[in-house]
């Protein structure tokens, strides 16, 4: 029953105009404040910790905006997954810095696109799939019945999605060796032993080392990208940003710190659109209690 309900919601959303979807998403996001639960609580905790320089009223305003964006994320997936690919791509109204990615790719060593949970990462994936030969690392959904539908939807414009396993990493390395493009979400907390602690908004965060290790192993340059939602459901603007030089340091701690610095810089461009409901600081360096307990 749950699976049928989710599919029905996604299908219904795919038929609605994007301005209506984003308006409904805003209402859902504000509903998280009225009926507080983990999403609202973790959003408040993260924003309060990462923006201590803001006054209490400005923090609360950012929380409201962030929850509205969370609601939009939930509903717009139906539009991005289930509409025809060419129609979906027309929602990308503008690109900023695309030449950075094209220049990096032209060097012939492949290209790694690092796409944090900022704005509409699903829209970013679809655009980059249509623009580059792309292999994406992802974590399979917990709802098994949705996996096939989502995999087909994400890959319908040419991307090859592979799980974050040893087999998937080998597939990425093979694609990069052929001059292709790989993509991954660099701000997910990795499994124990697969990362290190590095500052993120001044807070030690257990961070993945996979991105910098892939670049070191294959020689592929890294470009960061995120897809900004435009106001009033007008569509999206895709941004590309060159990676800082230190991300290629042979010292893993230095490279991972540079990765987090690049992610943080993009978040500060449109802070409300980051997924602040994600428990980014769940693992603590001293093994102590999580921020969220």
Residue 1 pLDDT greater than 70, yes or no: no
Rounded Cα–Cα distance for residues 241 and 35 (Å): 38
Torsion of Cα atoms, 191 then 193 then 198 then 203, to 10°: 60
pLDDT attached to residue 155:
83
Residue 226 pLDDT greater than 90, yes or no: yes
284 occurs within a structural domain: no
Rounded Cα–Cα distance for residues 273 and 97 (Å): 19
pLDDT attached to residue 179:
92
- The whole-number average pLDDT for the span 182-203 is 94
Residue 218 pLDDT greater than 70, yes or no: yes
* Tens-digit pLDDT profile for residues 11-46: 898 899 999 999 999 999 999 999 879 999 999 999
Residue 227 pLDDT greater than 80, yes or no: yes
Tokens 């409901």 belong to: 277
287 occurs within a structural domain: no
206 occurs within a structural domain: yes
196 occurs within a structural domain: yes
Residue 64 pLDDT greater than 90, yes or no: yes
291 occurs within a structural domain: no
pTM of structure? 0.94
Number of domains in the chain: 1
281 occurs within a structural domain: no
Across 59-63, 154-158, 202-206, 239-243, least confident range: 154-158
Residue 241 pLDDT greater than 90, yes or no: yes
Cβ neighbours of residue 152 closer than 8 Å, sequence gap 6 or more? none
Q: How many CB atoms lie within 10 A of CB 264?
A: 18
* Residue 113 β-bridge partners: 183, 223
- The whole-number average pLDDT for the span 210-216 is 95
The 3-class secondary structure across the chain, one letter per residue, is CHHHHHHHHHHHHHHCCHHHHHHHHHHHHHHHHHCCCHHHHHHHHHHHHHCCCCCHHHHHHHHHHHHHHHHHHHHHHHHHHHCCHHHHHCCEEEEECHHHHHHHHCCCCCEEEECCCEECHHHHHHHHHHHCCEEEEECCCCCHHHHHHHHHHHHCCCCEEEECCHHHHHHHHHHHHCCCEEEECCCCCCCCCCEEEEEECCEEEEEECHHHHHHHHHCCCEEEEEEEECHHHCCEEEEEEECCHHHHCCCHHHHHHHHHHHHHHHHCCCHHHECCCCCCCCCCCCCCCCCCC
* Tens-digit pLDDT profile for residues 93-144: 999 999 999 999 988 889 999 999 999 999 999 999 999 879 998 887 777 7
pLDDT attached to residue 204:
96
159 occurs within a structural domain: yes
Whether the Cβ atoms of residue 239 and residue 114 lie closer than 8 Å to each other? no
pLDDT attached to residue 147:
77
Residue 186 pLDDT greater than 80, yes or no: yes
Supply the range of the domain harboring residue 104: 2-273
- Give the CATH number of the domain where residue 77 resides: 3.40.1130
* Band (287; pLDDT cuts 50, 70, 90): confident
292 occurs within a structural domain: no
pLDDT attached to residue 97:
96
Across 59-68, 97-106, 282-291, least confident range: 282-291
Q: 140 vs 165, which has greater pLDDT?
A: 165
* Residue 165 β-bridge partners: none
């Amino acid at each position: 029953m749950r699976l049928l309900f989710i599919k029905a919601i996604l299908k219904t959303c795919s038929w609605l105009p994007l301005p209506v979807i984003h308006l409904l998403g805003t209402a859902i996001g504000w509903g998280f404040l009225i009926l507080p639960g983990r999403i609202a609580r973790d959003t408040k905790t993260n924003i309060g910790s990462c923006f201590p320089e803001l006054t209490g009223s400005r923090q609360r305003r950012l929380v409201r905006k962030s929850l509205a964006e969370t609601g939009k994320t939930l509903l717009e997936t139906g539009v991005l997954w289930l509409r025809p690919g060419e129609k979906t791509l027309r929602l990308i109204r503008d690109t900023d810095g695309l030449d950075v990615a094209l220049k990096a790719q032209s060097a012939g060593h492949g290209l790694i696109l690092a796409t944090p949970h900022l704005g509409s990462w699903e829209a970013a994936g679809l655009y980059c799939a249509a623009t580059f030969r792309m292999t994406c690392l992802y974590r399979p959904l917990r709802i098994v019945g949705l996996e096939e539908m989502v995999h087909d939807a994400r890959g319908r414009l040419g991307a090859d999605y592979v799980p974050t396993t040893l087999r998937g990493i080998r597939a990425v390395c093979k694609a990069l060796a052929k001059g292709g493009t790989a993509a991954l979400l660099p701000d997910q907390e990795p499994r124990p032993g697969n990362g290190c602690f590095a500052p993120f908004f001044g807070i030690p965060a257990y961070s993945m080392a996979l991105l910098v290790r892939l670049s070191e192993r294959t020689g592929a340059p890294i470009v960061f990208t995120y897809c900004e939602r435009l106001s009033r459901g007008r569509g999206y603007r895709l941004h590309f940003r060159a990676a800082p030089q230190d991300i290629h340091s042979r010292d893993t701690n230095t490279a991972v710190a540079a990765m987090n610095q690049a992610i943080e810089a993009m978040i500060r461009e449109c802070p409300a659109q980051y997924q602040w409901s994600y428990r980014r600081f769940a693992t603590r360096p001293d093994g102590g209690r999580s921020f969220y307990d």
